[in-house]
A and B are shown apart, each in its own frame.
Chain A
């Protein structure tokens, strides 16, 4: 059974640009969540989607957005990139709630220069 797949694995962008990251959940999982991981702030929740609806959102500026498609795949977008957006972006999927098969992908390492 394939795990959570995140693409790309690595990305280098310039300040002011925008970026789109992709996450394909485990087959059958309908919930997809996104987290940002930095050395200073640790793992911080960005947002969660279930059946194309955002059910929860973390405390991040509006430059961070996401969406989920009918096949449960999800994308997140960061516009007007700042140096501080450099981080490992992790996606997790589950059947529905956190306590039901919550599994992380390997992440996308974003570097903003």
Chain B
């Protein structure tokens, strides 16, 4: 599968392979994290979330990993499909802070 160790703005992946998208967050007080998918002309769509008392959470074809020691978040997409082509954002939230802080986004392109 395709993976990136550091955040890169783009990721090209072969259909059927696994994808890994990385994100570094800045606020050590953040205790809630979300991954969003944004397709052209649409708003961000919720994929999966994780709270700081967990280090892994799985959904349908997606897994989020959280490493609080190095303030790193990753999204793994299994068996990537053409419909997974989009921009992916990570976002963080800290207690009593009524907003999300977003990462720069990674554009994923799936090759047939």
Contacts and interface: CB of A to CB of B under 8 A. Distances in A.
B51 interface: yes
B33 to A, nearest CB: 10
Given A42-B102, A99-B49, A99-B51, A56 B97 contact: yes
Interface stretch (A13-21, A62-70, A75-83, A103-111): A103-111
Nearest to B104: A42
A92 B42 CA distance: 13
Given A43-B89, A98-B93, A99-B49, A90 B98 contact: no
Interface residues of B, number: 23
* Main SS at interface, chain A: strand
Interface in B66-112: 89, 91, 93, 97-105
B99 A90 contact: no
A48 B100 CA distance: 10
Contact of A102 (B42, B100, B101): B100
* A interface residue count range (under 10 / 10 to 19 / 20 to 34 / 35 or more): 20 to 34
Interface of B: 32, 34, 36, 41-46, 49, 51, 89, 91, 93, 97-105
Interface of A: 4, 31, 33, 42-43, 45, 48, 50, 55-56, 58, 90, 92, 97-99, 102-107
